[in-house]
Structure 1
Amino acid sequence: MSQNPSAADLIRTHLARVEQLRQQAHAEGWQLAVDEIKRLQAHRFRATYSDFLQHVRYAPATRFFLDELYGVHDFVERDAQFSRIAGALERLFPEAVAQLAVDLAETHALTEVLDQRLATHWVSLDASLPPATRYIMSWRLTDSRASRERQLSVIQHMGLELQRLTRMKSLRLGLRMMRNPARLAGLDALQHFLESGFDAFSSLGDARPFLDAINERESRWVSALFEQPLDACSAALSHELARSA
């Protein structure tokens, strides 16, 4: 009788997929295209959530999502740290913390898969096209609506779990006490991620309005990028990108 995979197994599987994608992007010459797509998406996110970034209550959680999940960063070290302590994470922390790490790993893997698929189409299209048009055409060629919806679902679950965990004062105190041991053990990137998430959501209060707004805005963009006439969608995306310039 087969058993469901453990949190540690899921974390390692997702992060192994990310590492495989990194190597493939470099081997196939897609890395520059992947980086261009990530920068474009980061600009779009900053524009779409510019009001949240200026909001006292929502700004920390918004920055956490933009920097720790969708930032144009090299997450190699953080990924390696997560993989290295996946088993210990499951043994030493409450189940919800291990599930939070699974959510992060799955979101990370989904994002990398989708970005790389976009990149394969991006490089095949005319480089003289406006970036917004080229992005939309790549998006439609990728045809990944189910994965986009799964991505949103995991983000919602992660946010609710972060909110629940921040209410566990003993866990927050224990996390602070782990700073020096984490640094000495070479786990500072992982420690930074966990503390950033806890700090962001502890100041948020009820996370549902924030998460509902993300779901509504991203669902609207997903629909537009798949369904809106190309010229209209390109104009809307170009306008959004200009707002974050």
Structure 2
Amino acid sequence: MTQNPSAANRIRTHLARVSDLRQQARTAGLDRAVNEVKRLQARRFRATYADFLEHPVHAPATRFFLEELYGVHDFARRDAQFARIAGALERLFPEAVAQLAVDLAETHALTEVLDHHMATHWLPQDATLSPALRYTRAWRLTGDRDARARQLTVVQHMGRELQRLTRMKPLRLALRMMRNPARAAGLDALQHFLESGFDAFASLGDARNFLDTISARESRWISTLFDEGEAACSAALSAELARAPEAR
């Protein structure tokens, strides 16, 4: 009987995939195109969730998702820390915390795969085209609706688990007590991610409306980008991008 891979092995597999794609992008000269795709996506997210970013309760959790999952950052340091302690994470923390790390790694890998493929279709297009039209065409050439749906499913699971874990007060206290040891061990980026997630969802209260709204809005954009006519889709995306507040 084949055993399911451990949480540690799944984390390492996902992060190795991310590392390989980064190297491929550097080798193929796709770095700039990947970053352009990521920046456009970040603008779209800021526009789609502008109301949440201004909401006193929803803002911390929204910023957590936009910055820690889909931000235009170099996550190599955090990834290396996750990979380095993947086995210890599985041994020392409750299973749900290890699964949270698996969700993060899978989301990270799915995003990197899709962004890499988008970049290969973004780069050859005429740079004088509107960013929304280039993005629409790159999205459709990339395809893989199942991967887009899986992205959303994993993010939803991560959000539900974060809310459940924040209710475990001993776990939150233990996490705070790890701050100095984590810094001394060179795990500060990992510690920041965990604390940011816990703090954001602790202040959120009942996360169901927050997560249901994300699911509805992202499902609508997935349908628009796959199913609307090209002109209508790029016009809708252009209008959304124009609404984006400045990044902070």
Scaled by the length of structure 2, what TM-score is found? 0.98
State the Cα distance separating 1:126 from its structure 2 match: 1.4
- What does the per-residue CA deviation read over 1:20-71, in whole Å, with 9 as the maximum and x for residues that have no partner? 0000000001010000000000000000000000111100000000000000
User: Which residue is equivalent to 2:107?
Assistant: 107
Residue 29 of structure 2 is matched in structure 1 by: 29
Alignment of 1:154-169 (within 5 A): 154-169=154-169
**Cross-structure match for 1:217:** 217
Task: Give the secondary structure class of the aligned counterpart of 2:129.
Answer: coil
Which structure 2 residues correspond to residues 1-245 of structure 1 after superposition, within 5 A?
Answer: 1-244=1-244
Q: Which runs of 5+ in 2 are unaligned?
A: none
Percentage of identical aligned residues: 75
Higher mean alpha-carbon deviation, 44-53 vs 225-234, is at: 225-234
SS at 1:203 equivalent: helix
Give, as a single letter, the amino acid of the residue that structure 1 aligns with 2:90. E
Alignment-mate amino acid for residue 103 of structure 2 = D
CA distance in 2, matches of 1:8, 1:42: 29
Specify the code of the residue in structure 1 equivalent to 2:132.
A
Q: SS of the residue aligned with 1:218? A: helix
Structure 1 residue 127: Cα displacement: 1.4
Per-residue deviation at 1:213? 0.3
C-alpha separation between the residues in 2 aligned to 1:40 and 1:125? 15
TM-score, with structure 1 as normaliser: 0.99
- SS of 1:206's partner is coil
Say what the alpha-carbon RMSD is for the aligned residues. 0.6
CA distance in 1, matches of 2:143, 2:16: 24
Q: Secondary structure at the match of 2:204?
A: coil
